[in-house]
């Protein structure tokens, strides 16, 4: 499963690239002139205050929302925004792990692994034995769940927060995603659980994939990201390597940004 040499395959520079993307919700200009490229084996940390447009940006990137203007390139090829959808993103090997929204609580793990792309016969009946066998493999090999009383028939509601993120990330890796988008995977998790999730993020990088990682906790994203992108009121205002700034300096920088925004309210209405 740990696909080494993945980065050599195929010939493209960026797994996804947004150019001049705008997004309006009615009169609200939620994304302004977004230019963002994600390399094939890098972890991009997306940071910014509440309402900065982080979630909107990844929704546009993954086909949940259509951009109002601008272009999206996947593997250096332009995509027709009208046709771009979650399904198409899946087909293009882009997977998203939303906080609390990626797994069906009451459903067994094996169904959660395959829902949306079940292994079926021609009539649409699910090959349960095969799905369970593969799910068992993902569980023990890719995610590393052993013992702890969790099997493919366990329901999601029996799992801890960190285990849930692990399942969702493991599913994305199994389906050979080239880009995995994580939306605040460590929110509301205990410390030990956070460590597990950060380990999963490192695994994404080790297996040669790319990752866009939205995070509120600057220490977490600083620890794993290759590049940090700062979003402020719908605009990308800075890009930096974590090595350039310590967590404390980064925090200071964001507070400064916030203060500047409060001091210049006219900016927000523009």
Partner 1 sequence: MRRLARIEGLPIILVFLLVLGLFMLTAPNVFLRPNIYTTFLSTLPPLVLLAVGLTFVIGAGEIDLSFPAVIAFAGFVFAVLFKEWDLGWVAVAAGLAAGLLVGVVNGVLVAVVGIPSFIATLGTQFFWAGMATVLSGGKSYALRGAESSTVWQGLVGRAELAPGVAGAWQNDLSIQALWTAAIVALLWAILNRHRFGEHVLFLGDSKDVARVVGIPVERETIKLFTLMGGLAALAAMLLTLENKNFFGNQGQGYLLTAIASVLIGGTSIFGGRATIVGTVFGCFLIGMIEAGLVASGLTGALVRTVQGLVFLAAVVFYLLVDEPHRRAALLARLRRQRG
Residues that bind partner 1 (CB under 8 A): 64, 86-87, 90, 96, 98, 101-107, 111, 115-118, 120, 123-126, 128, 157
* CB-nearer residue toward partner 1: 110 or 200: 110
Q: Is residue 66 within 8 Å of residue 84, measured between CB atoms?
A: yes
* CB-nearer residue toward partner 1: 58 or 221: 58
- Rounded least distance, CB 21 to partner 1, Å: 21
Residue 251, both tokens: 């925090």
Which residues are bridge partners to 212 per DSSP?
44, 181
- Rounded least distance, CB 180 to partner 1, Å: 14
* CB-nearer residue toward partner 1: 86 or 261: 86
List, in order, residues 6 or more apart from 173 with CB less than 8 Å away: 1, 142, 180, 203, 204, 207, 209
- Rounded least distance, CB 93 to partner 1, Å: 13
239 burial class (0-12, 13-18, 19+ CB within 10 angstroms)? exposed
* CB-nearer residue toward partner 1: 107 or 140: 107
- Rounded least distance, CB 107 to partner 1, Å: 6
Nearest-CA neighbor of 270 among 233, 220, 215? 233
- Rounded least distance, CB 50 to partner 1, Å: 19
DSSP-derived letter for residue 87 is H
* CB-nearer residue toward partner 1: 102 or 186: 102
């Amino acid at each position: 499963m740990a696909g080494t040499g993945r980065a050599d395959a195929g010939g493209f520079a960026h797994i996804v690239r947004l150019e001049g993307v705008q997004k309006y919700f009615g009169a609200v200009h939620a994304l302004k002139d977004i230019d963002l490229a994600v390399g094939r084996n890098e972890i991009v940390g997306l940071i910014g205050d509440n309402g900065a447009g982080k979630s909107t940006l990844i929704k546009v990137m993954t086909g949940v929302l259509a951009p109002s203007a601008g272009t999206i390139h996947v593997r250096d090829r332009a995509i027709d925004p009208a046709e771009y959808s979650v399904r198409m993103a899946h087909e293009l090997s882009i997977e998203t792990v939303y906080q609390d929204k990626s797994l069906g609580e009451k459903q067994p793990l094996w169904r959660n692994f395959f829902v949306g792309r079940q292994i079926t016969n021609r009539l649409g009946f699910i090959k349960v034995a095969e799905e369970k066998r593969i799910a068992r493999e993902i569980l023990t090999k890719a995610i590393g769940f052993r013992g702890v009383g969790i099997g493919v028939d366990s329901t999601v509601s029996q799992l801890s927060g960190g285990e849930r993120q692990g399942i969702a990330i493991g599913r994305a890796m199994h389906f050979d995603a080239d880009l995995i988008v994580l939306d605040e995977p460590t929110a509301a998790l205990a410390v030990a659980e956070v460590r597990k999730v950060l380990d999963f993020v490192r695994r994404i990088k080790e297996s040669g994939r790319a990752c866009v990682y939205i995070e509120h906790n600057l220490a977490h994203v600083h620890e794993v990201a290759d590049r940090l992108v700062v979003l402020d009121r719908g605009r990308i205002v800075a890009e930096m390597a974590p090595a350039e700034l310590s967590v404390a300096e980064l925090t200071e920088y964001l507070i400064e940004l916030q203060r500047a925004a409060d001091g210049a309210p006219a900016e927000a209405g523009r």
